[in-house]
């Protein structure tokens, strides 16, 4: 937090629990003195190329935590604007997702499938071209909306 400048003002941390803050401090302590990433590094350079999901050895060990802690760390890093830690967290989640089917991803993160069965059939019947997939989904949504409006009008 050196880049905030020196200040006696306390920083309010309403969303960060003490156990998470401890982890975050451990990270900052280890990486102390390393140069900060350029402020717009993510918009210029990384943007044009595929980003690597490699994580350094120490960071890998550090981020091997249970899922709840992982997401708490991501939220805290985002809130405290610690970009390198946010990157490590996001890369870890991305690595967990890689190669999994939608159902496996739901199971992994305990996510409820909130597509209607009808929508799902439509989505799954499509070839794996996301352009077609998105278009069909949106068309379908628009259609449902129209039907609902029509029903309400009655």
Partner 1 sequence: MATADNLHLDILELIFIYLSGNDLVSVALVSRAFFAGVIPRLYRKIMFRLNHAKRYPQLMSPFRAIIEHPALAVHVRHIEIRRIPPLKTQHHPVFLSEATQALSLCKNLQSFRCDKSALPSFLAPLQKKERLQELRVNAQLTTAQSEKLAKLDNLTSLCLDYGSWNIIDALPRWAPRFARTLTSLCLYSANELNEGVLDQVLQQLPGLQALHIVGCGQVDHVAVLRVVSHTPLLESLSFSTTESSSPLSKTAPSLPNLRHLALDTRYSMMSSPAPQVLASILNHLQSSAPALASFVLRLPEIKITVGKDFIEQLVKLHGSTLQTVAFIDCALSLDSILTITKSCICLERFELPIPLKDMISFASSIGKAPNLRLLIDTATQYGHSHGHGPSASLNQEHARYVIKSAPHLRKIVSGKRVWKNGSSGVGTLSLERLPAFSSGTYWFMPRDATDFGMN
Task: State the residues that interact with partner 1 by CB under 8 A.
Answer: 45-54, 57, 60, 67-68, 71-72, 74-75, 78, 86, 90-91, 93-95, 97-102, 105-106, 108-115, 120, 123-124, 127-135, 137-138
**What minimum distance in Å lies between the beta carbon of 154 and partner 1?**
27
CB of 2 or CB of 98, closer to partner 1: 98
**What minimum distance in Å lies between the beta carbon of 23 and partner 1?**
13
- Residue 31's CB is within 10 A of a number of other CB atoms, namely 15
**What minimum distance in Å lies between the beta carbon of 129 and partner 1?**
5
Q: What b-and-e string marks burial along 130-154, b requiring 16 or more CB atoms within 10 Å of the CB?
A: eeebeeebeeeeeeeeeeeeeeeee
Which tokens in the block code for residue 135?
Answer: 């278009």
**What minimum distance in Å lies between the beta carbon of 87 and partner 1?**
8
**What minimum distance in Å lies between the beta carbon of 27 and partner 1?**
17
CB of 5 or CB of 127, closer to partner 1: 127
CB of 26 or CB of 42, closer to partner 1: 42
Beta carbons within 8 Å of 17's beta carbon, 6+ residues apart: 72
CB of 2 or CB of 128, closer to partner 1: 128
Question: How far is it, in rounded angstroms, from Cα 136 to Cα 114?
Answer: 17
Question: Would the CA dihedral through 56, 62, 67, 70 be positive or negative?
Answer: negative
Which tokens in the block code for residue 57?
Answer: 């050895």
Q: HSE on the CB side for 134, CA within 13 Å?
A: 3
CB of 2 or CB of 131, closer to partner 1: 131
């Amino acid at each position: 937090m050196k880049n905030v400048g020196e200040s006696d003002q306390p920083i309010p941390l309403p969303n960060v629990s003490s156990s998470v803050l401890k982890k975050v401090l451990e990270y900052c302590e280890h990486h102390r003195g390393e140069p900060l990433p350029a402020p717009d590094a993510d918009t210029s350079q990384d943007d044009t190329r595929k980003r690597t999901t490699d994580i350094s050895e120490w960071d890998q060990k550090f981020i091997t935590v249970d899922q709840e802690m992982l997401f708490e760390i991501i939220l805290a890093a985002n809130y405290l604007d610690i970009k390198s830690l946010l990157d490590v967290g996001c890369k870890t989640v991305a690595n967990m997702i890689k190669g999994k089917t939608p159902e496996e991803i739901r199971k992994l993160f305990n996510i409820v499938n909130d597509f209607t069965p009808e929508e799902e059939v439509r989505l799954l019947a499509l070839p794996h071209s996301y352009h077609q997939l998105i278009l069909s989904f949106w068309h379908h949504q628009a259609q449902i909306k129209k039907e609902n409006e029509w029903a309400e009008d009655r």
